[in-house]
Amino acid sequence: MAEIGFYHLTRTPLERALPQLLEKIHGSGARAVVMAGSDERVDALNAALWTHDPASFLPHGAARDGNEASQPIWLTAVDENPNQSKFLVLTDGASSDHVGEYDRCFEMFDGHDEQALAAARACWKTYRDAGHELTYWQQTETGGWQKIDV
């Protein structure tokens, strides 16, 4: 079973929160797959990762970049794991039939979007019923994260 963390975005948009998470994953020497809701969203996240911090480089790629097996961070709208990642980041309501094959999954959702909240609640129930270990994190006033007991 995977450890699944729900990340309730309330202070910063995904484009700013995602690079911070990916820096921690990459910094630990691990790989990540980021699954978005559409190819257009993959392109937008790809651009955001290139420009998030001019003083640093976060290695990543998507289908148009190729070399998927060698990419430390893979951006996709398809349920795939071409870089043999142990970490999966789900955004935009994307879902995977392979969550249990990862060590850890991050469900990131916009806390100001009622549809995203409803979808996150439904995912929580599905994951809980499947026996996954669940945690819930909400952004703090300063943009950090606080674990909430649910």
Write a three-state SS string for 26-50: HHCCCCEEEECCCHHHHHHHHHHHH
Residue whose structure tokens are 């879902």? 95
Tens digit of each residue's pLDDT (9 = 90 or more) over 59-89: 999 998 889 999 999 999 999 999 999 999 9
Q: What is the pLDDT of residue 150?
A: 81
User: Quick one: which of 65, 60, 54 has its CA closest to 18?
Assistant: 60
Q: Which two tokens stand for residue 119?
A: 């979808």
Q: What is the pLDDT of residue 96?
A: 96
Q: Which two tokens stand for residue 148?
A: 């909430």
* Mean of per-residue pLDDT scores for the chain: 94
Q: Which two tokens stand for residue 109?
A: 């959702």
Tens digit of each residue's pLDDT (9 = 90 or more) over 11-66: 999 999 999 999 999 999 999 999 999 999 999 999 999 988 888 889 999 998 88
pTM for this model (two decimals)? 0.95
